[in-house]
Amino acid sequence: MYAPLIRLCLQAAATALLGCAMILTAGASEATWPRIAEIRLVGNEKTQDKVILRELGLAPGDAADPVAIDNGRQAVQDLGLFREVKAATSAIAGGVMLEVTVREKYHLLVLPRIDASSDSDYSYGANLRWSNVWGLNHRMNVTVEKGEFPNERDRLEETSARMSYRAPYVFDTPYELRARLERRERVTPIIDPATNLVTDESFDETFDQFEIAMARDFRRERPRSGWILGGGAFWQRQSTDGELAPPSDGQALAAVGTADYDNLRYHLYSETGRRFNARLEVASEGLGSDYDYTRTTASYFQSHAMGDVPHQTLQLLGSAGVLTGGTGSRNEFSLGGSGQMRGYDSDFLEGNYYYYGSLEYLRPVKWDWLRLLAFVEVGGSGDDREGLRDGSPYADIGVGVRIRLSWFVGVEIELGWAYPLRGGEGANFFAGGN
C-alpha cells in the first residue's frame, strides 16, 4: 500500500537532485571564463573607439567567452572598414585584457569611373568616396559622370551629378540618417509613334531628385542580424526644353518606406549570408505632386561558401519592381548593359515592371583578390526591342573576372563577355565597377 507513495517520493527526490546538479553545472560553466578587466584597441588611427566597441558588444565585467569574442570580432569586420580584425586575450590583474587589433583601409578616395559595353555605350567620370567620415562610419559619396549612348532609346547623352550621405547610429542612437541629391541633364531621342523607332530628332530633359529619410536598426545580437526599418520623403522633378520637346512631367513628392534584412558576413574578398531590401514610394496628386504614382522595388542577395577553397562562393541574386500611375512619358525600369542582363545592349528590356534573377559562381584565380566569374541571368520586362510586349523571359550566360581592391572600402571591378540565349546580337563585352 505504501509502494506508490515511496515511488512518488523517490521520483521527487531524483528530480530535485537533477535540478540542483543543473544549477551547479551552469554555475561552474559561467565560472569557467574569467572576466574581461580591460579592452584595448590597436590600429584604429581614423576610426573612433566607440564605433568598434559598439560592434564588439562587450564591456569590462563581461565573461571572456571565446564564442562571444569571435562573434564581436566578426561584427567589427562586417563594417567593411578594415583589412584585418584580430582579437586576443591575455591575463592581467582582475581578469583578462581583450585586445582588438585592426588594419584600416583607405577611407577617402577619388576614383575614375568608367563603364563600357560592346554596343558603343560608354560613360566616364569621377567618384569621391569618404567611407568613414570623422571616423564615425558615416559614408559620403559624390559622383560626376558624362556618357554617350548612341544605341539607347531613352538617352543619347547624359551628364549627371549626385551626392549621398548615410549616418548610422547618429548621436549614438539606433537611428540612421539618410540623404540623397541628384541632377541629370539628358539629350533624349524622339521615338516615331508609327514605327516605334528612334528618329534623328531630340530634345533636352532635366531631372532633379532629393530624398531624406530616417531608419531604425533593430539588430541586437553579434554579429549583427535582423531588420532595419525606415521612412522619409522623396521629391523629384522633370522638365523639358527644345522645339520638339513634349510637355514636362512636373514634380512629385512621395512618402517612402524601406525594410532591410541583413545577415551578411564580410570576409574581405567575399561575403556569405543573405540580404533583403524593399522600398515603397507613394505620391498623391495635389499633396505636393502633379500626378499620382506608386513605385515598389525589392532585391535579394544570398551567398554560400563552397568547398575548402577560401572565397569560393555560389551567389543568388534577384530583384523586381513595378510602377503604377505616373505620367507615362517613359519606361521606369530597364535591363541590359553592364549591370543586369549583361549579354544584351543597354535598355534592351524596359517597361513599368521588371524581374531579374542571377546565379553566379566565383573562385579565386591565383590570388584571393582576383576571382573567376561565371553566371547565368534571367530577366524580363513589359517591352523589348524585338517588339514583344508579353513580359516573357530572356536569358544569358557569361564569364569574366571580378577584382576586389582590399586596401580600399567597397572598390570592386568586373569585366568579361556575356552571350544572349534568346535574341540579342551575339557576345557582349561588359565592364564596370563600384
Q: Model confidence over 260-270: pLDDT tens digits?
A: 999 999 999 99
- Identify the weakest region by mean pLDDT among 92-106, 193-207, 314-328, 358-372: 193-207
Burial of 112 (0-12, 13-18, 19+ CB in 10 A): exposed
Q: CA 64, 67, 72, 76: dihedral to nearest 10 degrees?
A: 130
pLDDT of residue 433: 77
CATH of domain 108-433: 2.40.160.50
Closest CA to 320 of 341, 336, 299: 299
pLDDT bracket for residue 171 (50, 70, 90): very high
Confidence of residue 149 (pLDDT cuts 50, 70, 90): confident
Higher pLDDT, 263 or 28: 263
**pLDDT of residue 317 exceeding 50:** yes
Domain 11-104, CATH homologous superfamily name and number: membrane protein fhac (3.10.20.310)
- Percent of the chain at pLDDT > 70 equals 91
Q: Is the pLDDT of residue 420 over 60?
A: yes
Judged against a pLDDT cut of 80, whether residue 42 lies above it is answered with yes
Evaluate the CA torsion angle 130, 133, 138, 143 in order and state its sign: negative
Look at residue 230 in the predicted model and tell me its pLDDT. 98
Average per-residue pLDDT in the chain?
90
Q: What is the pLDDT of residue 200?
A: 87
Q: How confident is the model at residue 15 (pLDDT cuts 50, 70, 90)?
A: very low
pLDDT for res 122: 81
Q: Which of 18-22, 36-40, 136-140, 162-166 has the lowest mean pLDDT?
A: 18-22
In whole angstroms, how far apart are CA 248 and each of 210, 241, 245, 323?
18, 8, 8, 19
Range among 30-34, 241-245, 429-433 rated most confident: 241-245
pLDDT band at 1 (very low <50, low <70, confident <90, very high): very low
Higher pLDDT, 184 or 120: 184
- For residue range 106-129, what is the model confidence (pLDDT) as tens digits? 999 998 887 766 567 788 999 999
Q: Are the C-beta atoms of residues 45 and 82 closer than 8 Å to each other? A: no
Q: Which of 12-26, 85-99, 336-350, 351-365 has the lowest mean pLDDT?
A: 12-26
**Dist. CA 387–CA 390, nearest whole Å:** 9
Mean pLDDT score, 126-145: 96
Q: Encode pLDDT of 271-301 as tens digits.
A: 999 999 999 999 999 999 999 999 999 999 9
Other Cβ atoms less than 10 A from the Cβ of 332: the count is 20
Instruction: Determine the average pLDDT of the residues in 391-399.
Output: 94
Q: Dihedrals φ, ψ of 228, to 5°?
A: -125, 120
pLDDT, residue 54, reads 97
Task: Look at residues 152, 153, 159, 148 and name the one whose alpha carbon lies nearest to residue 183.
Answer: 159
How many CB atoms lie under 10 A from the CB of residue 425? Answer: 14
Per-residue model confidence (pLDDT) at position 432: 80
Query: Does the pLDDT value for residue 434 go beyond 70?
Result: yes
Mean pLDDT of 144-162: 90
Instruction: Tell me if 78 sits within 8 A of 265, measured CB to CB.
Output: yes
Q: Count Cβ atoms within 10 A of the Cβ of residue 24 and give its class: 0-12 exposed, 13-18 middle, 19 or more buried.
A: exposed
Query: What confidence score (pLDDT) does residue 240 get?
Result: 96
Predicted pLDDT at 18 = 40
Q: Where are the domains of the chain?
A: 11-104, 108-433
**5-19, 20-34, 179-193, range with greatest mean pLDDT:** 179-193
pLDDT at 101: 98
Q: What is the pLDDT of residues 240-254, one digit of tens each?
A: 999 989 999 999 999
Render pLDDT for 340-359 as a digit per residue (tens, 0 to 9). 999 998 888 989 999 999 99
Question: What's the confidence (pLDDT) of residue 113?
Answer: 81
| Res 60 pLDDT > 90 | yes
Between 25 and 158, the more confident residue is 158
Angle subtended by helix axes 66-77 and 49-56, to nearest 10? 130
Q: pLDDT category, 365, cuts 50, 70, 90?
A: very high
> For every residue of the chain, which 3-state class applies, written as one string?
CCHHHHHHHHHHHHHHHHHHHHHHHHHHHHHHCCEEEEEEEECCCCCCHHHHHHHHCCCCCCECCHHHHHHHHHHHHCCCCEEEEEEEEEEECCEEEEEEEEEECECEEEEEEEEEECCCCEEEEEEEEEEEECCCCEEEEEEEEEEECCCCCCCCEEEEEEEEEEECCHHHCCEEEEEEEEEEEEEEEEEECCCCEEEEEEEEEEEEEEEEEEEEECCCCCCCCEEEEEEEEEEEEEEEECCCCCCCCEEEEEEEEEEEEEEEEECCCCEEEEEEEEEEEEECECCCECCCEEEEEEEEEEEEECCCCCCCEEEEEEEEEEEEECCCCCCCEEECCCCCCCCCCCCCEEEEEEEEEEEEEEEEECEEEEEEEEEEEEEEEEEECCCCCCCCCEEEEEEEEEEECCCECCCEEEEEEEEECCCCCCCEEEEEEC
Cα 80 to Cα 88: distance, rounded to the nearest angstrom: 20
d(CA 225, CA 218): 9
Q: Is the pLDDT of residue 164 over 50?
A: yes
